[in-house]
Structure 1
């Protein structure tokens, strides 16, 4: 997933991190009201996020921030929006120096745990428990990734399955290719598209998390099964040098050797990857559910009309479930340990504005899945998002590698996959990943 993690206060950050209407705890204001902040001292909140693009989700979140500013004149919001990769770098630097912004987009599981262990976050339990109707409407287990030793540090603002195959039905029909249900059918489709000078799968792996999060986390689960991966991540009964993991690496490498991806895939980014698809040059691309919001906003109408979604096909002999795709419950908004008093009240109000019922509704209406119990009004939804919504009703979530592994191991996986797709040894890459995770856990 698009994340960063911390394994220790600064050493691991330096080594491997590249890889919403409450009134706070003193008042219960209504949504959109100035709540606790009204009539109080002027406060300043620094807010870092990754809503810098023109996709529907980013536009919706920026509107919530603008509305909050308008209804809270005594709260000076100093908002900084960065592309996800830039946010990763900026947070890494700030964390190492113990100079975190007041509020910031963060990811569940490993990142949350590492920031808590570095004493950078404060729990939100008192505020969350003061609004039981809010807390009780998250989907089952949605808060688990933001909970450490019984304390909750954020709530998900979306749902982030990270691995879907976006395909152009018109190109498939033109060349008589069926949507693959098995890995062999996928390999056959790759061959057919190559023979007709069509890029089988557009890939933009310049930010090297892409291949890991959107492709390999699902491929790995298909081959090894989820239980094996969780044992290996814990270094308890499984190692990344085990034969099944080496086989998972080789499965991805075979896809690369078959020229499933265009030349130079490590030199272009996610947006350029989508552009190849939007230009009709690629039959498929693989990306997270978040890509739907961008497609709906930017894809040419003739491409959007023939674009559909599926998940990666089953892999023969694999131990994983076929109807799973990698993902996490979604990003949350972290609150710095240093935020106190009236400033904390304002921060909790903003947290509720972004992730409370109205925020969740705005997110869903921006063609973005949520980890919250709210029904989609299909009459208002774009057909592609309605398709994604229906697909997820019957699809389970398996772990994204970078949500469970240490910073050092995430770095080893991300760099290793670039090496793997350039012809590197699967066994040697597996050893680097194993050594990184074992070292990080002291095993």
Structure 2
């Protein structure tokens, strides 16, 4: 499912940055003068991202009570991309849209449809007039979001290196995972199981495969080189060798429900002591808090969970991404004003700190965190462990999900995995099959 410090002070009233100074009413503005919009999002319901996002939206609504209001429309993650594409065709896009690379939104579609047709509002003036916001953003993301002088998406402020979680009551090793080679790590598994999945985008499985590739000679460089152009050939030696390792591990150390498992099933396997290890991002840490113990079973204890990056001292993270949200240029002026106010609020230091406390990560541009943040971070040791596992020698690798064409990442990769597990496809045939499907998306 589709591995990393986010922005400064909450703004008062934003106007100049969004060229939003019209006083006319819109069909999404209430009669009492409150600009009210609906935000379709997959960060709702059971989605783990809802833990931060829904209270975050409530805080925005409270801050701007009487001026702005955002209403949430929950959309299943599997349906979000198609909904946005349909709304784009109808020229009825919501005021805030999740950025490509998230929610199943195809980066190539965004480039071919949204950017090519100038459908994204240029955030350049907004960032120039709000330097306290811009200075908190990741430079590589700003560069990536800038197309022909226009900032088409709000760049990210928080990097979330992705690693894994392990249950110390089940998996034991005298050596830190990140200090092992991948071969060493696999040899320590014994009877321990990993919580894999094959449904949807095969998220937990794809993360492990990404770490396997990064540990292959030339693997990290191969994947990194495909960030901007996407990867269409999966027959290269680093990928083929990693897929062979994946097949062996899935055949011998996969949780019993892995084939046919969606993310919720993989998470359940881990939190019911049926799997010792799960690959996932820092946002899963909240699941191990006692407030979530209704999701635990079979004696699982959140206090037994530890976090680490991958063997070979590898963390999965890609700073060259399209950020979190973009604003359609077709939005009314009052709506753009609301959207810009939201983006500034989201990237204020209090909200950045809350995001990190909830989902983990690091904000490279923020030099000094608040004392309150530092104190609260100690209350969630698993997040602190993940952050501390990243050191000056850590290798930051790009995950497969950053380079696979969206249809491959969202469906075809997961759909093809069962054939790899049961031996219907050899590792070489699996790679060839992925290559054929990827080429067909061009």
Q: TM-score, normalised by structure 2?
A: 0.77
8 Å Cα contact 2:68/2:338 also seen in 1 = yes
Shift of 1:372: 4.7
Q: Secondary structure at the match of 1:405?
A: coil
Q: Secondary structure at the match of 2:310?
A: coil
State the distance in 1 between where 2:432 and 2:43 align: 37
Residue 248 (structure 1) aligned with residue 245 (structure 2)? no
Using the TM superposition, name which of 164-173 and 179-188 deviates more.
Answer: 179-188
8 Å Cα contact 2:193/2:253 also seen in 1 = yes
Going from structure 1 to structure 2, the CA distance change for 1:359 and 1:340 (only over 3 Å counts) comes to same
1:276-311 Cα distance to aligned partner (Å, 9 max, x none): 222223221111222113333525697222211122
8 Å Cα contact 1:57/1:293 also seen in 2 = no
Q: Which residue of 330, 336, 341 maps to 2:333? A: 341
Residue 43 (structure 1) aligned with residue 60 (structure 2)? no
Shift of 1:409: 4.1
Residue of structure 1 in register with 2:317 after alignment: 327
8 Å Cα contact 2:14/2:341 also seen in 1 = yes
Residue 210 (structure 1) aligned with residue 236 (structure 2)? no
8 Å Cα contact 2:205/2:279 also seen in 1 = no
Residue 387 (structure 1) aligned with residue 388 (structure 2)? no
Structure 1: where are the runs of 5+ without partners?
A: 4-19, 29-36, 194-198, 314-321
Shift of 1:262: 1.8
Residue of structure 2 in register with 1:219 after alignment: 212
Residue 355 (structure 1) aligned with residue 350 (structure 2)? no
Q: Secondary structure at the match of 2:375?
A: coil
Residue of structure 1 in register with 2:136 after alignment: 137
Residue of structure 2 in register with 1:306 after alignment: 304
Residue of structure 1 in register with 2:223 after alignment: 229
8 Å Cα contact 1:218/1:326 also seen in 2 = yes
Shift of 1:349: 0.5
Going from structure 1 to structure 2, the CA distance change for 1:148 and 1:404 (only over 3 Å counts) comes to farther
Residue of structure 1 in register with 2:432 after alignment: 431
Going from structure 1 to structure 2, the CA distance change for 1:57 and 1:247 (only over 3 Å counts) comes to closer
Residue of structure 2 in register with 1:267 after alignment: 260
State the distance in 1 between where 2:282 and 2:206 align: 12
Shift of 1:407: 2.6
8 Å Cα contact 2:314/2:395 also seen in 1 = yes
Structure 2: where are the runs of 5+ without partners?
A: 4-9, 19-28
Q: Secondary structure at the match of 1:206?
A: coil
State the distance in 1 between where 2:441 and 2:46 align: 38
Residue 85 (structure 1) aligned with residue 58 (structure 2)? no
8 Å Cα contact 1:363/1:370 also seen in 2 = no
Residue 183 (structure 1) aligned with residue 179 (structure 2)? no
8 Å Cα contact 2:41/2:75 also seen in 1 = yes
Going from structure 1 to structure 2, the CA distance change for 1:275 and 1:409 (only over 3 Å counts) comes to closer
Give the number of equivalent residue pairs: 399
State the distance in 1 between where 2:391 and 2:45 align: 28
8 Å Cα contact 1:172/1:179 also seen in 2 = no
Going from structure 1 to structure 2, the CA distance change for 1:105 and 1:165 (only over 3 Å counts) comes to same
State the distance in 1 between where 2:31 and 2:365 align: 34
8 Å Cα contact 1:202/1:262 also seen in 2 = yes
8 Å Cα contact 2:223/2:399 also seen in 1 = no
8 Å Cα contact 1:40/1:342 also seen in 2 = no
1:116-167 Cα distance to aligned partner (Å, 9 max, x none): 43124323111112111221122442334433344321122643334x2211
Going from structure 1 to structure 2, the CA distance change for 1:121 and 1:275 (only over 3 Å counts) comes to same
Residue 117 (structure 1) aligned with residue 107 (structure 2)? no
State the distance in 2 between where 1:236 and 1:52 align: 29
Shift of 1:25: 3.8
Residue of structure 2 in register with 1:127 after alignment: 126
